[in-house]
Chains A and B, each alone.
Chain A
Amino acid sequence: MNENVLRGSADFTEAIGNAKEINELLRRYGVKFGIYKNGVFKEQFFPFDPIPRVIGAEQFAAIEKGLIQRVDALNQFLYDIYHDKKIVKDGKIPEDFIYISSGYLAQCEGITPRNKIYSHISGIDLVQGKDGEWYILEDNLRIPSGASYPLIARELTRIASPEAFRSNNIVDNRNYPDLLRETMDYVNCGGVRAILTPGRYNAAYFEHSYLAENTDSLLVRSDELFVENNMLWHKTYSGQKTRIGVLYRRISDEYLDPLTFLPESLIGIPNLMEAYRSGNVGIINAPGNGVADDKGIYYFVPKMIEYYLGEDPILRNAPTYLPFYKADMSYVLDNLDRLVIKDVAEAGGYGVVFGSDLDSEKLAGLKDMILSQPRRFIAQDVIDFVDLPILDNGETVMRKADLRAFVLSGKTTRVWASGLTRFSRNPDSFVVNSSQGGGFKDTWVRSQ
């Protein structure tokens, strides 16, 4: 029996029958994300699909092992890059790929966070190929979001599908706030926990406030904070100050400290980097992590695992080609029409082109670009990943879906036994982004 299938009399009918109620309850709890449409801020409900993704115990154990290995190697890489740069000196990664990356921040050279952990909360995006194999699509080591959605949904799916939970040994995922809190406390330099949000109009504001509530942290904006005597403080309404020992910040590196990074940043905390460098405040995740989750660096992660850990990678990358290397260049040029090309300089879903979508003229134009700027692009085989059933107007249809797994690193590295499964509503689309109208599912991991 396929271990990913539920056992006993439980199928998904009970969940499907309660889909409307679950969505209604999620809406009631404010499970929304903000978007700007034509300059106007709107809060949009994040649609929940009642049919969970189920991952068997054995399979999850393999994924878990692979993720821990990958994140450990990425953390060692980050330490290395901001210190000795051995991996570059040993010729495993060409220097150019490090220093042209916009995620590399020279200002972070020499800073050593506790236990040399840079990525405390890693969001690793995976897909399962039709061959059953799991592939890593992307590492998110800066401010990955999404854990709050399956977390709050589980509270409701347990009510909606009691039979499935009774007979299937599904690992309880409601420990995420505890994991997060332990991770925060591990880097706490003495003071209260705080989550820094850009404010209510940020797309992930629900998550910021929900995680603050559940980890008993302050939810703060930068104008409530200041640095004095190399320490980070919260201004209270009585004119007093409260020391902050760890800051889980949900704003990007370049806005974090206007006296170190972008001077025009209005959402940063002046001299935060001084307090951080002095070891007086922990920052989650460490600034400068962008150098490790860059599209160009992705190619080298399996090599990092071999280099730092002396192990073979457990989880595979999607087959990737770097035109920077001669052999790869000729392969890319010969097979451009069936590859997906990614511009290393672009972020998010931008700068991603499927060769099959281009006419011969555009293909020729792209070839010229790749030839003239080989470092700027990577090419990947298009993975034919599995479809998952989703409920669409009362009918079950098959759609593309990925999985964002959350890996938390502190004293040890642990994988949250759940994750955010996002799917595309459009049958022809591979794009699962919530801003594109996609939805999410609960992810059930079986314990046996």
Chain B
Amino acid sequence: MKKINFYFSTKLTFDDYVHEHSFALRVIPPETPTQHIVSCELSISPITAVDHNTDAFGNNVTAGYIKGDHRFLDFEIKGTAETDCTRHRTDYMPCYLYQSAFTKPSAALASFLETLSDDLSEASVSERVQTISSKLSDVFRYQKDVTTSHTTAAEAFETSAGVCQDFSHIMLSLLRLNHIPCRYIAGLAFCDGETHSWIEYFEDGVWKSFDPANDRPVNEDYLVLSQGRDFADCAIDRGVMFGSYTRQLTLVRSVMQQGY
């Protein structure tokens, strides 16, 4: 078990006033067997009334509506959690076995998996996950600004480079092709100054975590914010607003520290 202090903030700035702004945040970490949330404080500016719900995937959703003109939306969470790698979650949904919008495999992904078939046959689920991730790291490298948050697994794979979100999507696509139920995780990790993404796969009735972007299992330095079939279910913030703004600037910062 490890005690960690976490902080995460997002500043959305628009280049013109917006109004009638509806938003849904998935930013409050869920209480699970692997992480106990000792405290978590959410602040939103402009100050607005929000509602807290839980979605189909077990995520905490913070929904709000800002009617009047404003040019920014800032939100931050601050808190303390205890993470425990020795325990496991079991909240299964059958849809995790099936490809979703971001993970639809291309012929290239399918044939990549095909080249691994000798290594994968007769291996355990965990071994297969490690093998696939390791082989993926050989052909796919970490690079910023070559993909966007809309890039699918198939598109990213074609680019041969991307960020943690792309690693996760490709991994999910390959695992599902290999009939392993798995899901997308959005969260915070010690290694990142922003949000991080990794995956979970289902083996022997429990979820196990793996970080394909770093090609290593997940330890107690990771805090889950949300889970789902892919990025679309886990977006930190989704919003719809009115106004004649043309640009939206997003600044994100996260800090994870050893807690005492």
Contact = CB atoms under 8 A, between A and B. Distances in A.
Given A106-B57, A109-B56, A230-B51, A88 B22 contact: no
A100 interface: yes
Interface string A67-104: 00000000000000000010010000001001110001
B203 interface: no
B51 A270 contact: no
A88 B94 CA distance: 10
Contacts of A427: none
Interface string B71-100: 000000000000000000000011101100
A228 interface: yes
Nearest to B238: A259
Interface stretch (A46-54, A271-279, A363-371): A271-279
A322 B56 CA distance: 31
A263 interface: yes
B140 to A, nearest CB: 26
Contact of A226 (B20, B23, B24, B93): B20
A278 B20 contact: no
- Determine the interface band of chain A, counting residues with CB < 8 A from chain B: 20 to 34
Specify which of A88, A228, A229 lies most central, judged by the most chain B CB atoms within 10 Å of its CB: A228
A258 interface: yes
A277 B61 CA distance: 12
Contact of B22 (A98, A106, A270, A278): A270
B229 interface: yes
A259 B22 contact: yes
B63 A230 contact: yes
B230 to A, nearest CB: 11
A107 interface: yes
Contact of B53 (A88, A100, A230): A230
Contact of A274 (B51, B93, B229, B232): B51
Specify which of A108, A109, A259, A260 lies most central, judged by the most chain B CB atoms within 10 Å of its CB: A259
Contacts of A95: 94, 97
A226 B22 contact: yes
A259 B21 CA distance: 12
B61 to A, nearest CB: 6
Contacts of A274: 24, 51, 53, 61, 63
A110 B20 CA distance: 29
B63 A106 contact: no
Nearest to A265: B240
Given A259-B24, A259-B238, A277 B53 contact: yes
Given A106-B57, A107-B56, A274-B61, A258 B94 contact: no
Interface of A: 85, 88, 95, 98-100, 104, 106-111, 226-230, 258-260, 263, 270-271, 274, 277-278
18 contacts: A99-B95, A106-B57, A106-B229, A106-B233, A107-B233, A108-B56, A109-B93, A111-B56, A227-B65, A228-B67, A229-B49, A230-B51, A230-B53, A258-B240, A260-B55, A263-B232, A263-B238, A270-B23
> Sorted from nearest, which 9 A-B pairs have the closest CB atoms?
A270-B22, A109-B56, A270-B240, A228-B65, A230-B51, A259-B24, A99-B98, A106-B95, A274-B63
